[in-house]
Amino acid sequence: MSGEKGVYIVFAGIQNINRDKSNMPRISGVNIPDNKRLEIALTYIYGIGPTLTKLILKTAGVNPDKRAKELTNDEINKIQSIIEKNYRVEGELRREILGNIKRLKEIGAWRGIRHVKKLPISGRTKTNSRTLRGNIRKTMGSGRRPPASPT
């Protein structure tokens, strides 16, 4: 009788690794939204944009108009293997980018210094740097001063 329980436990433990509890496909550690087309859904993975998504789906032989919930396990495995073999995505890509920035800082390059000072790295920086510097305007008032209060 205890042997039968062991058999049930073994079968209960076998499940699809590439699908989450809510039956969402999981590729490269990211839950892919169910109701979106694959062309859009794969862009939720950091490092994969629309152009790369089309190339991956063409290589895997999967219809890009298919919804993510309609994927079979075989198709999920194909897509995941293509991504893992050919592209750097998610954590690996983030580490590489942080390493590049760290290297620029260490060698004292212009871009590295701009990163250290938290200023824009490239482009026109006199006026078009509000995203990094914040929307702080350091100009004088618009003209009239308030009248001096009597003492």
What CATH number is attached to the domain comprising 69? 1.10.8.50
Residue 137 lies in a domain: no
Q: Is the pLDDT of residue 1 over 70?
A: no
Query: Is the pLDDT assigned to residue 117 strictly greater than 60?
Result: yes
Are 70 and 15 contacting, i.e. CB atoms less than 8 angstroms apart? no
Question: Is residue 106 in a domain?
Answer: yes
Query: Model confidence over 51-103: pLDDT tens digits?
Result: 999 999 999 999 999 998 888 899 999 999 999 999 999 889 999 999 999 99
Domain assignment present for residue 52? The answer is yes
Rg, the chain, Cα only: 26
Q: How high is the pLDDT of residue 129? A: 73
22-50 mean pLDDT: 87
| pLDDT of residue 141 exceeding 70 | no
Which pLDDT does position 7 carry in this prediction? 44
| Residue 136: inside a domain | no
116 contacts: CB under 8 Å, gap ≥ 6: 105
Are residues 63 and 118 part of one domain? no
This prediction's pTM: 0.66
The answer to the question of residue 147 being in a domain is: no
Please tell me whether residues 76 and 97 are part of one structural domain.
no
Whether residues 29 and 82 fall in one domain: yes
- Which pLDDT belongs to residue 119? 83
Q: Are residues 95 and 77 in the same domain?
A: no
Report whether 50 contacts 41 (CB < 8 A).
no
Sign of CA dihedral 55, 61, 67, 73: negative
Q: How far is residue 30 CA from its own chain's centroid?
A: 9
Domain, as residue range, for 18: 13-87
The verdict on 103 and 116 lying in the same domain is yes
- Mean pLDDT (the chain) is 80
* Residue 54 placed within a domain: yes
Residue 61 shares a structural domain with residue 113? no
- 102 and 80 in a single domain? The answer is no
Together in a domain, 63 and 19? yes
Domain count, the chain: 2
